[in-house]
Copies of this chain bind each other. A is one copy, B any other.
Amino acid sequence: LNPVALIAKKRDGGWLTPDEIRAFVSGLLSGEVADYQMSAWLMAAFLNGLDERETLALTDAMLESGKVLDLPSVTKPKVDKHSTGGVGDKISICLAPAAAAAGLAVPMVSGRGLGHTGGTLDKLESIPGYRTDLDVRTFEQIVATVGVSMIGQTSELAPADKRIYALRDVTGTVECIPLIVASILSKKLAEGIDGLVLDVKAGRGAFMKDVRSAKRLAKALVAVGKRAKKRVRAVITDMSSPIGTTIGNALEVREALAVLRGKGPSDTVELTVELGAEMLAAGGLEKSVVEGRKRIRKVLADGTALDVFRKMVEAHGGDPRVVDDDDVLPSAESEVVVESKARGHVRAIDAERLGILSVEMGAGRARAEDAVDPAVGIEIVATLGNRVAVGEPLAKLHVRERTSAEAWISETRSAFSVGRARFTATSRIIERLG
């Protein structure tokens, strides 16, 4: 292993062989490749690119750096969903139990929130007692018995991804499609899945600000996922306004529970149904998305998805009464109403701005080591297309102390665009690939 030669090869625009990539990645874990060598290589990869073969090899190398689940006792198709991150994105919490109720096995490993985007783990942990740090063995057992388990990243799965991601984060090499693809896929494929649905978000609240770059990422994910012999589908969805009506951990669990009870905001339901239908198609349980939609709508309507959720919460040590009683969830001391100063129709709600605000309020974290307040957050009262009069509520802020809310009120108000003309919210689904 000659790390300098492999760095120089990528630097000079060459393409590394799968063996070279494997040696370089395992060298990082063994200490033969130093952090400063990996970061030089990452920058060369950022600037000169990785082709699909290299991206697959990097995915495989990171995947093979840890355990790969095989779930031998699970006979159902194993399918997971991954979202590139958004504001108010609680979809996993209603989607995973619904997909399990519809016949899939869903071994879902999720991340924490960072920056303006929230994380499924933080949301789940707002359920009293819910443990996200189960070991891989227990995780497998819950998937086998309940059909779904949702845990946090563990050092047992794809540890090389964790090391490399930590380096990318501090060396300006995050925003690189092949590196993003390898990072996402290595973690997801370590779950031992047969199929994967990718929710690639586009818009102001997303990592990819425009549809074009979201599409590039989605294409690369599907292409490399297929090279890895998995059934991979991607859906590009609009992330310019927050999803549903809540931003903040316990608030979002409440909304997800509403969906699981057959209610919930129309866009949250739409995303759950559409991504669920894609998961069923990826798992081979339904040939058409049309049939898949029906199946997901059914498990939401008849309570079977909610029942799966209850069992999952129980298996994770959480309080199962949460499915019937929202008051089991923490709630903030105070609610502050944000009133409209204009009259008209809500034409836009800036997801990024509200995402950043929610972090300031304590619902998210600016740095990985920050703690999160499960109770605080933003509740959207006037959703896209709603008509508001002056003085009518746009949103409610769930806060610890009323006194701190002054600046937040005007910031929330500025995130809402209210115009004279009528406005009708459209579907969040922009495009499907795979």
> Cβ of A390 < 8 Å from any Cβ of B?
no
A43 contacts the other chain (Cβ, under 8 Å)?
yes
- Copy tally for this chain in the complex stands at 2
When C-beta atoms are compared, the residue in chain B nearest to A10 turns out to be B172
State in angstroms the CA–CA spacing of A170 and B34 once bound together: 9
Interface majority SS on A: helix, strand, loop or mixed? helix
In A48-83, the 8 Å CB interface with B consists of 48
A108 at the interface (CB under 8 A from B): no
Q: Considering only CB atoms, which chain B residue lies closest to A171 in the complex?
A: B40
A42 at the interface (CB under 8 A from B): yes
The CA of A167 and the CA of B34, in the complex, are separated in Å by: 11
A38 at the interface (CB under 8 A from B): yes
User: Which residue from B3, B48, B171 sits with its C-beta under 8 Å from A37?
Assistant: B171
Smallest CB gap from A5: residue in B: B172
Q: Let me know if B170 and A37 touch, CB within 8 A.
A: yes
Across the interface, do A7 and B171 meet the contact criterion of CB distance under 8 Å? yes
A167 contacts across to B, CB distance below 8 A:
36
Which partner residue on chain B sits nearest A45 by CB separation? B43
Is A26's beta carbon under 8 Å from chain B? no
In the complex, what distance in Å separates the CA atom of A7 from the CA atom of B38?
15
Closest CB in chain B relative to A367 CB, distance in Å: 13
B-contact bits for A160-180, CB 8 A (1 contact / 0 none)? 000000010011110000000
Contacts of A37 in B (CB 8 A): 39, 170-171
Interface residues of A in 1-17 (CB under 8 A from B): 3-5, 7-8, 11
A55, B158: Cα distance in complex, Å: 40
Within 8 A of B (CB), among A192-215: none
Q: Tell me if B42 and A172 are in contact (CB < 8 A).
A: no
Docked Cα-Cα span, A37 to B43, in Å, equals: 10
Task: Say yes or no: is A47 at the interface (Cβ < 8 Å to chain B).
Answer: yes
**Any B CB within 8 A of the CB of A44:** yes
B residues near A302, Cβ cutoff 8 Å: none
Report if A35 contacts B (CB, 8 A).
Answer: yes
Task: Check if A4 sits within 8 Å of B171, measured CB to CB.
Answer: yes
At the interface, yes or no: A24 with Cβ under 8 Å from chain B?
no
> What's the Cα separation between A154 and B35 when bound, in Å?
27
User: Within 8 Å of chain B (Cβ to Cβ): is A46?
Assistant: yes
A44 vs B171: C-alpha distance when bound (angstroms): 10
Partner of A172, one of B11, B34, B35, B171: B11
Sample (13) of A-B pairs whose CB atoms are under 8 Å apart: A4-B171, A7-B171, A11-B43, A11-B47, A34-B35, A34-B36, A35-B36, A36-B38, A36-B170, A36-B171, A40-B43, A40-B172, A40-B173
